Amino acid sequence: ERERSAAAQRAAEGAIRRAAALEEQLAAKTAELEEAREAAAEAEVEALDEARLSELANGHEGGLLVAFTSGGGGVPALAAAAAELEGEGVKVATIDADAHESIKARLELPAELPALRFVRKGASTTYGMRPGSPALGDAAASDLVSFAQQSSKLAKMADEAAAAKAA
């Protein structure tokens, strides 16, 4: 009986060790998956310089949702918004306005950054100008997506009106 008890104890200890090893493997895989998700989300947000900003602002047909940041600070929901806007042709980007000082004056950015704008064919709309918009730092991805979609729709309507007027 003693031998059976010792064997059962050894078997239980082995099961505990295997369970602990499986927990470690699961934790490692979970961490890898989270890192991959973050990397994928961040990959959808392009970091711009002044030349690339001008190129996209004037030439990207779907429009550009761009966050103007200060010192590398960002907009928390921007990556998630980028993932949602991916299929709509809206490019999502960020630019460190402190690193590109001339942008602040040229685009009349507010003193307090970050700031978010939707830009299409040189015309822009600033996030937060509509009543009821949450502060940019508190905005959810859905708020940013809604802003980009509405701004894109208005820009396309303006294009259609201008084309009809020219015809």
Predicted confidence band at 21 (pLDDT cuts at 50, 70, 90)?
A: very high
Separation of CA 58 from chain center: 21
Sheet with 115-120: strands ordered across: 45-47, 91-96, 64-69, 115-120, 123-126
The pLDDT of 102-125, averaged and rounded, is 84
What DSSP line would sit under 47-107, residue for residue? Answer: E--HHHHHHHHHH-TT-EEEEEESTT---TTHHHHHHHHGGGT-EEEEEETTTSHHHHHHT
Confidence of residue 38 (pLDDT cuts 50, 70, 90): low
How many residues can be counted in the chain? 167
Q: Is the peptide bond before 110 cis (omega within 30 degrees of 0)?
A: no
The pLDDT confidence band at residue 42, using thresholds 50, 70 and 90, is: low
Asked if 103 and 50 touch (Cβ cutoff 8 Å), the reply is yes
Whose tokens are 């004056």? That residue is 105
| Residue 149 to residue 155: CA distance in whole angstroms | 10
Answer yes or no: is pLDDT of 160 > 60.
yes
Is it the case that residue 30 has pLDDT exceeding 80?
A: no
Instruction: Give residue 33's pLDDT band: very low, low, confident or very high (50, 70, 90).
Output: low
pLDDT band at 86 (very low <50, low <70, confident <90, very high): confident
Note the pLDDT tens digit of each residue in 59-77. 778 889 999 888 766 777 8
DSSP assignment string, 112-126: SS-EEEEEETTEEEE
pLDDT band at 37 (very low <50, low <70, confident <90, very high): low
Q: For the chain, give the mean pLDDT.
A: 83
pLDDT at 35: 62
